[in-house]
C-alpha cells in the first residue's frame, strides 16, 4: 500500500517535478558521501538525513544502496563524456582538436575531484559495481570512437603516425589528468609541490596538450630503422 501511494505521488505532474528535484538532491549528496568514505563506508541513513528524505524514498527511486551508487557512477561518467561531445572538434585541424580534447580532460578532472575519488575507490573494488552497468561501457566506447576518428583524420592528412591506437592515446590523456588529482597529497608531501596550485594550472594544461600532440606526430617513430 505504501509503495502504491508513492507511485501515485510520482504520477502527479507537480509531484513528479518534486520527485525529480528530490532524486537530484539525493544523487548530489550521495556523490559526496561515496567520494568521501567509499561504497562500504557510506550509509543510506546519512544520505536520507542530509537530504531530509525518507529512507524508503531512496530505495523506491534507486532500489538499493548499490543501485544508488551505480547511478552516481554512471552520472559521473556521463558528465565527462557529455563534455567531450560538446567540444565539437569536427571543424578543427586534427592536432588542434586533439589538443582541445586533452586540455578539456585536464580541466574536467581538476574541477571534478569527486569523479577521481569515485574511480579510485571503484578500482579498489576491482570494478565490482560498475561491472553491473550497461551504460558505462557504451559511454566510454563512444569516447574512444570519437578519438579514433580524430586520429584517422590526422593520419589521412599525413601529420599523425600510422601506428596509433586510440585507446592508448585515451589512456595517456586520462592518466596524466587523473594523476594530478589522485596523487596530489602524496606528491606534495614527497616533492613539496602542489599539483593543483592555481598558478600552475595553465602550465600543466599546456603540457598535456604538448605531450599528446608530440607523441602522435613523432613521424620519426614511423620510419623504418636502417
Alpha-carbon torsion (119, 82, 138, 165), positive or negative: negative
Do 116 and 109 form a contact (C-beta atoms < 8 A)? yes
44 and 76 housed in the same domain: no
Same domain, 150 and 79: yes
Task: Give residue-wise pLDDT tens across range 214-226.
Answer: 999 966 555 554 5
Provide the 8-state DSSP code for 132.
G
- Domain end position, chosen among 46, 63, 80: 63
- Is there a contact between 28 and 18 (Cβ–Cβ < 8 Å)? no
Domain shared by 21 and 92, yes or no: no
22 shares its domain with 107 = no
Q: What is the pLDDT of residues 32-53, one digit of tens each?
A: 999 999 999 999 999 999 999 9
Cα distances (Å, whole numbers) of residue 24 to 27, 29, 124, 205, 221: 5, 9, 27, 31, 49
Please check whether residues 51 and 144 belong to one and the same domain: no
The answer on 103 and 41 residing in a single domain is: no
Number of domains within the chain: 2
Do residues 185 and 74 share a domain?
A: yes
Q: What is the predicted pLDDT for the residue at 7?
A: 55
Q: What is the CATH number of the domain that holds 41?
A: 1.10.10.60
pLDDT in tens, 124-149: 999 999 999 999 999 999 999 999 99
Domain extent for 51: 14-63
Q: Is the pTM here over 0.75, yes or no? A: yes
Same domain? 57 vs 77: no
pLDDT tens digit string along 63-104? 999 999 999 999 999 999 999 999 989 899 999 999 999 999
CB of 120 within 8 A of CB of 182? yes
Give residue 19's pLDDT: 84
Q: For residue 4, is pLDDT > 60?
A: no
What is the Cα–Cα distance from 40 to 17, expressed in whole angstroms?
Answer: 31
pLDDT score, position 225: 47
CA 188 to chain centre: 24
Amino acid at each position: 500500500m505504501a509503495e502504491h501511494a508513492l507511485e501515485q505521488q510520482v504520477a502527479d505532474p507537480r509531484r513528479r517535478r518534486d520527485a525529480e528535484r528530490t532524486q537530484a538532491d539525493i544523487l548530489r549528496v550521495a556523490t559526496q558521501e561515496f567520494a568521501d568514505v567509499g561504497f562500504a563506508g557510506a550509509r543510506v541513513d546519512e544520505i536520507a538525513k542530509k537530504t531530509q528524505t525518507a529512507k524508503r524514498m531512496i530505495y523506491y527511486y534507486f532500489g538499493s544502496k548499490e543501485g544508488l551508487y551505480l547511478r552516481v557512477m554512471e552520472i559521473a561518467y556521463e558528465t565527462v563524456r557529455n563534455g567531450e561531445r560538446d567540444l565539437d572538434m569536427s571543424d578543427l585541424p586534427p592536432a588542434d582538436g586533439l589538443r582541445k580534447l586533452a586540455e578539456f580532460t585536464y580541466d574536467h578532472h581538476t574541477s571534478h575531484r569527486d569523479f577521481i575519488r569515485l574511480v579510485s575507490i571503484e578500482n579498489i573494488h576491482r570494478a565490482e559495481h560498475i561491472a553491473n552497468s550497461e551504460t558505462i561501457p557504451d559511454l566510454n566506447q563512444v569516447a574512444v570512437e570519437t578519438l579514433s576518428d580524430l586520429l584517422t583524420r590526422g593520419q589521412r592528412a599525413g601529420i599523425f603516425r600510422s601506428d596509433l591506437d586510440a585507446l592508448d592515446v585515451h589512456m595517456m590523456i586520462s592518466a596524466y589528468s587523473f594523476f594530478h588529482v589522485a596523487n596530489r597529497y602524496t606528491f606534495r608531501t614527497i616533492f613539496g609541490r602542489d599539483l593543483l596550485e592555481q598558478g600552475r594550472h595553465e602550465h600543466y594544461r599546456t603540457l598535456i596538450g604538448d605531450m599528446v600532440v608530440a607523441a602522435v606526430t613523432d613521424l620519426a617513430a614511423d620510419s623504418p630503422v636502417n
